[in-house]
Amino acid sequence: MGRHYLDHASTSPLRPEARDAMAAELAAFGGDPGRVYEEGRAVRARIEVARDQVAALLGVRPRQVVFTSSGTEAINAAVFGAARARPGGAIALASVEHSAVREASARAGPVIELPVDGDGRIEHGAIDRLLATPPDGGLALVHCQWANHEVATVQPVHEVVAACREAGVPVHVDGCAAVGHVPVDLGSVGADLASVSAHKLGGPPGVGALVVGAGSRFAPLLVGGSQERARRAGFENAPAIVGFGAVAEALCEEGRLEREADQARRHLDRLLEAALSVPGVRLLGDQRPEGRLPHLACLGIDGVEGEPVVIGLDRAGIAVHSGSACSSEALEPSPVLAAMGADAERSVRVSVGWSTADEDVAAFAAAFGPVVAGLRALAT
């Protein structure tokens, strides 16, 4: 029995462009890129090419890109730097933000929770009310993810950033779920800080980026070296960085991102057609295609918990994810779904990507209904 991978929102298989670039980098001698001798200069040159490539994908200048070990590190660095710049200031975020955002913020200072609607989107007017009556210690940072990693809802990023900039409040945008799946022009948005992860878009694991707004200054999270223009200490992971750059360059090819997004929508539409034909199954989050990422969907399933559905599909050769506490390392159900008023224990997330084939979609369509029906029969 073949396997059918439908959890690209967690991580996506390595693209050929990244694999080839990394193999070439690993075959080359990896001198210290911080040294002035020839071997060091050669590695430094390849890292800077990758920086140019990633910057082009994100619509920013190369010097704004700080390579990190992951999107999680980039988020933690953003929170740390913002909190150090405005000691005692509160950090505002919606509970639908990624756990890295929520936990890093809770450790850095007082947190103000922004309300969300039933689609998981920041409520209209919530930012204006916050900025009109800020807390006594002021605001150190406002978070606004580009789009949600569990239900795909796109957030009003441009509006949030514009309002905060007018009020002089820094903003961090978590772009990890969206970059590589839809056009993300961070340059036009103008956020002070943004985080990106390579493995979510078919790049290598172990590398991400913190994008620092033009003119923004922040205290580095990692110290002990002058790498990344003294903004992130530590010996650079050149093979991963070069792989990240190669994927970014590939996605900058004219029309490629749009073609991949169209393909993802077609695959996801077929998955949803099959899933929603099962009684008691519904789509969570924004129902409008224009209000969602094209590659992922979260399903609410009446009468059965998500974990046994994940296990049943796994036995059929299909990999999906659930927001239930038992289906991952989490100790509690998804706070994203809880904030939306949905039952996280009865949810399943499916997500497609660059390597998804029609056979993967057909396998899910054939297995999902029988798995749910079988579990419901056991429950009764």
Q: Which residues are catalytic?
A: 326
Residues with Cβ within 8 Å of 149's Cβ and at least 6 positions away in sequence, in order, are 9, 98, 176, 177, 296, 336
Q: Locate tokens 């360059």: which residue?
A: 249
Handedness of CA 42, 43, 46, 52 (dihedral sign): negative
- Kindly provide the residue ranges of all beta strands, DSSP E only, lying in the chain, ordered along the sequence: 4-5, 65-68, 90-94, 111-114, 139-143, 171-174, 193-197, 208-212, 281-284, 296-301, 318-319, 347-351
List beta partners, residue 193: 172, 212
Q: Of 27, 64, 67, which Cα lies nearest the Cα of 47?
A: 67
Q: Locate tokens 């990240």: which residue?
A: 244
DSSP state of 5: E
Interatomic CA distance for residues 122 and 116, integer angstroms: 4
Interatomic CA distance for residues 351 and 189, integer angstroms: 26
Interatomic CA distance for residues 307 and 322, integer angstroms: 6
Interatomic CA distance for residues 104 and 131, integer angstroms: 22
As given in the structure block, the two tokens for residue 233 are 């200490």
- Are the C-beta atoms of 240 and 198 separated by less than 8 Å? yes
Q: How many helices (H) and strands (E) does the chain have?
A: 13, 12
Phi-psi region of 116 (alpha: psi -120 to 50; beta: other; left: phi over 0): beta
Q: Locate tokens 């509970």: which residue?
A: 95
As given in the structure block, the two tokens for residue 125 are 């007017």
